[in-house]
């Protein structure tokens, strides 16, 4: 049974872990894979003069925290990073980080074609990690705020909105505490 999703598209796992991995959690990526991921992230979102690339802004750390909390996503990323490293060595005889930008793009295009689920997850996690950084939000003219659906600021919750519902009579049947769950009554 494959852990990789059958269809490419937005992934169900969260893109950016809201909590850092516990201090006792072992690292997910070794140093070589961290350097590879950093280089890939800089290729997906390169520096633009005002801001460093996504890898140089340490988006990889937020991705790694997410990988610590999702076995499925961890497997997808580790396999995908291995494919990038293997393709780079096979095609050029050099590590991905040693290639020029054009060669890196060619390697990533091959991986995207053969492993679309990995590539979609990689791009989605890169963008979410990148655009949740305060420095990036300010650089694109946004006031930094926590991520919300469609970027909207939500008003504080007003508990009085539930008053009408609290006054309604229950619309469900009470359960018989003497009857065990899953058994049917013959009184019908």
In the block, residue with structure tokens 């600021």: 153
- Work out the average pLDDT over 102-113: 95
The kind and range of the H/E element at 22 are none
Please report the pLDDT score of residue 118 as a whole number. Answer: 95
- Looking at residues 43-64, what average pLDDT do you find? 91
33-1-107 Cα angle (round to 5): 35
Beta carbons of 131 and 146 less than 8 angstroms apart:
no
Q: Is pLDDT of 170 > 70?
A: yes
Q: Measuring CA to CA, which residue among 55, 52, 24, 26 is closest to residue 40?
A: 55
| Whether the Cβ atoms of residue 35 and residue 143 lie closer than 8 Å to each other | no
């Amino acid at each position: 049974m494959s852990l990789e999703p059958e269809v490419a598209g937005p992934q169900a796992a969260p893109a950016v872990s809201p909590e850092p991995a516990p201090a006792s959690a072992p690292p997910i990526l070794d140093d070589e894979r961290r350097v590879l991921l950093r280089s890939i992230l800089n290729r997906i979102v390169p520096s633009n003069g005002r801001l460093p690339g996504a890898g140089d802004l340490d988006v990889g750390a937020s991705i790694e925290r997410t990988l610590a909390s999702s076995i499925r996503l961890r497997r997808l990323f580790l396999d995908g990073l291995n494919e990038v490293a293997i393709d780079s060595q096979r095609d050029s005889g050099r590590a991905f980080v040693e290639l020029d930008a054009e060669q890196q793009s060619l390697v990533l295009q091959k991986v995207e074609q053969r492993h679309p689920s990995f590539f979609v997850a990689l791009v989605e996690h890169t963008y979410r990690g990148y655009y949740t950084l305060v420095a990036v939000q300010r650089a694109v003219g946004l006031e930094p705020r926590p991520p919300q659906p469609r970027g909207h600021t939500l008003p504080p919750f007003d508990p009085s909105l539930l008053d009408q519902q609290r006054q309604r009579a229950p619309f469900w049947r009470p359960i018989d505490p003497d009857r065990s769950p899953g058994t049917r009554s013959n009184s019908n």
